[in-house]
Amino acid sequence: MCGIVGLVGKKEVKVKDIVNGLQKLEYRGYDSAGIAFSQNNHVELIKTTGKIANLREELNNEMEKEIKIGIAHTRWATHGGVTELNAHPHTDCTGKIALVHNGIIENFQELRKELIEKGHNFKSETDTEVIAHLVEEYYEGDLFKAVLKTIKRLDGAYAIGVIHIDEKKIVSVRKGSPLVVAYNEDYALLASDITPIIKYTKDVYFMNDNEMAVLEPGEIEFYNINGEKIEKKSVHIDWDEQAAEKGGYDHFMLKEINEQPEALKSAITGRIKNGEPIISEIDNLKEFIKNELKKIFIVACGTSYHAGLTFKYFMNRYSKINVDIEVASEFRYMNPHVDKNTLVLAISQSGETIDTLEGIRIAKEKGAKVITISNVYGSTIPRESHGAIYMNTGPEIGVAATKTYTAQIGILYALGAKIIELTEGINEEIKEILKGIEKMPEIYKEVLKLNEKIKELAREYANYQHMMYIGRGFGYPTALEGALKLKEISYIHAAGYQAGELKHGPIALLDEQFPVFAIIPRDSLYEKMKSNLMESRARNANIIAITTEKNEEIKQLTNEYIMIPEAHEALYPLVMAPVIQLFSYNVAVLRKLDPDKPRNLAKSVTVE
């Protein structure tokens, strides 16, 4: 996820207008930023690494400069390191064309090869730069036509804004990445969301996939990707600027929960296609995986550990490879049994968690290979690993991990499937699971509609002091994650247990003051879970259950229930995640707590 912004004006536009707009999008990525504007018949290009503040500093006096047109970008790196050259905007060989892009071009390697053969000169390692050179290749005096031809060559996801020095317009297209455009009498603007726009107008156009917009001062024309004109209706937005930063949501956590359809899609783009796992990031380890791999050891903390545990259940069911897991703070002091035949999987949203970092250092000393899954490009853990897979969900601001958790599970399943493909051969059932992940963004749209019902439940349970989450099989990591989410933001004492363990101790806690939150989809362990619910009811505990649609029987077993769409049982951790997140969020808000900044916690735990 990156942020793009563009502005073209009848009146002069100041450079600082565009930079101020970009600032509103910094939450979408902040490892580098850049701006391009037309100036004395050439495109002026200024790019810096780091936050937008660095760009402001670099621009210095130029901030007041009057220009007619400009585009800018704040980056969350995916392809290519955090360098000035890799920062956007990207230009063609002539320097007349500049563009900003949010998304991933999946076929960029083939395109790059083709364009280099035709004599194009590449300056960056990014996937984006191919678009600038393709536009150059097709440009015959009409930017719109050149972009139209270019997008026919692109696979993947994109929202782009392109300018050419000879034309006073911005051509933009959306496929799979968000894009909003708007205009008033004097200006036309584009952005990744409405935050930079509402200062100018509250009537905006949300672009759909495969739609193009040509922005000229004071007007916008819309087209489909065949170049035919289309009509679009504007939407009136009533938010003030502060509400807009949170996408109209009250908290970043709620916004991030609701971003999961887009975040998961972006995490698996280029990694799962029609049920096939891709994961090119481990190409350098293919021979090791095929010929030497004997064991996988997962190292992580908190929510990332729960994603890792879900992966362990997946691998345990579908692979013969021995998979072990330990929380990083234990792993680093336990003389872990890893060696040159071990693949250590480090999972860390921030990429900076000190225990996980020390864990991989120990693993490397013992000769293990390390792959990290992280959301922060260039952070320490992925840098010190043999391979890094970035989640591409954009920054997560709420302290509670939400969208990164589901992105982790999606990527881990794809990675697991790839490892199985390389070692034992992948079967149809695994491919079906991967296809299910590809459909998950759509399923999420349904699951997120359950929030009203979840809010009602939260009202019933917000004043309890305790909550016990129980699950079995794939439901167990979900129970742990549910308990962690609830305790960290609502300060209710919550614990997660394997439901089968109840009678070995925890059941002694249960009474009318100690409710049970049961993860009970209709899966292979449903009957076993039913027995555990009955045991809990017999101790007068109130029971909330998440179960699957059409499970009428649940009404007799529980006090409250939420029904989610049916799926393959390996996918329930993904389907259920938004439900446990929304429950905790609503409870925290009802208890008048700030879910974005829970007490005593930090987003990145860099001390022991």
Binding residues for ligand AGP, per CB under 6 A? 301-304, 348-350, 353, 356, 399-401, 488, 604-605
**Closer CB to ligand AGP, 400 or 579, in the complex:** 400
**Closer CB to ligand AGP, 83 or 604, in the complex:** 604
**Closer CB to ligand AGP, 301 or 589, in the complex:** 301
Strand bridging mode 3-14 / 66-75: antiparallel
Specify the length of the chain in residues: 608
Helix, strand, coil % over all residues of the chain, rounded to 5: 40, 25, 35
Query: Within a 10 A sphere around the Cβ of 276, how many other Cβ atoms?
Result: 15
Of 2, 301, 418, 485, which is the active-site residue?
2
| Closest CB 481 distance from ligand AGP, rounded Å | 8
**Closer CB to ligand AGP, 103 or 395, in the complex:** 395
Token couple for 337: 């049994």
| Closest CB 103 distance from ligand AGP, rounded Å | 24
- Nearest Cα neighbor of 544 from 474, 482, 608 is 482
Vertex 358 angle, CA 353 and 360, to 5°: 100
| Closest CB 573 distance from ligand AGP, rounded Å | 15
Instruction: Name the residue number minimizing CB distance to ligand AGP.
Output: 302
Round to whole Å and give the CA distance between 561 and 571.
19
- Nearest Cα neighbor of 79 from 392, 393, 383 is 392
Query: Within a 10 A sphere around the Cβ of 295, how many other Cβ atoms?
Result: 16
Token couple for 270: 């280029």
Residues sharing a CB contact under 8 Å with residue 395, sequence separation 6 or more, in sequence order = 1, 27, 28, 29, 30, 76, 375
**Closer CB to ligand AGP, 49 or 356, in the complex:** 356
| Closest CB 401 distance from ligand AGP, rounded Å | 4
Round to whole Å and give the CA distance between 80 and 548.
42
| Closest CB 495 distance from ligand AGP, rounded Å | 15
**Closer CB to ligand AGP, 257 or 343, in the complex:** 257
> What SS3 string covers 10-54?
EEEEEHHHHHHHHHCCHHHCCCEEEEEEEECCEEEEEEEECCHHH
The answer to whether residue 301 is catalytic is no
Round to whole Å and give the CA distance between 100 and 91.
9
Vertex 529 angle, CA 527 and 531, to 5°: 75
| Closest CB 463 distance from ligand AGP, rounded Å | 23
**Closer CB to ligand AGP, 399 or 533, in the complex:** 399
| Closest CB 477 distance from ligand AGP, rounded Å | 13
Maximum C-alpha span of the chain = 81
**Closer CB to ligand AGP, 350 or 586, in the complex:** 350
Strand bridging mode 66-75 / 32-39: antiparallel
Token couple for 506: 């925890």
| Closest CB 379 distance from ligand AGP, rounded Å | 9
Is 216 buried (19+), middle (13-18) or exposed (0-12) by CB count in 10 A?
middle
Instruction: Please name every residue paired with 5 in a beta bridge, in sequence order, or none if there are none.
Output: 72, 191
The helix (run of H) or strand (run of E) holding residue 53 is: helix 52-59
Round to whole Å and give the CA distance between 20 and 178.
20
| Closest CB 474 distance from ligand AGP, rounded Å | 19
The answer to whether residue 2 is catalytic is yes
Of 65, 431, 528, 603, which is the active-site residue?
603
**Closer CB to ligand AGP, 130 or 301, in the complex:** 301
Round to whole Å and give the CA distance between 459 and 468.
17
Query: Within a 10 A sphere around the Cβ of 64, how many other Cβ atoms?
Result: 10
Catalytic positions = 2, 603
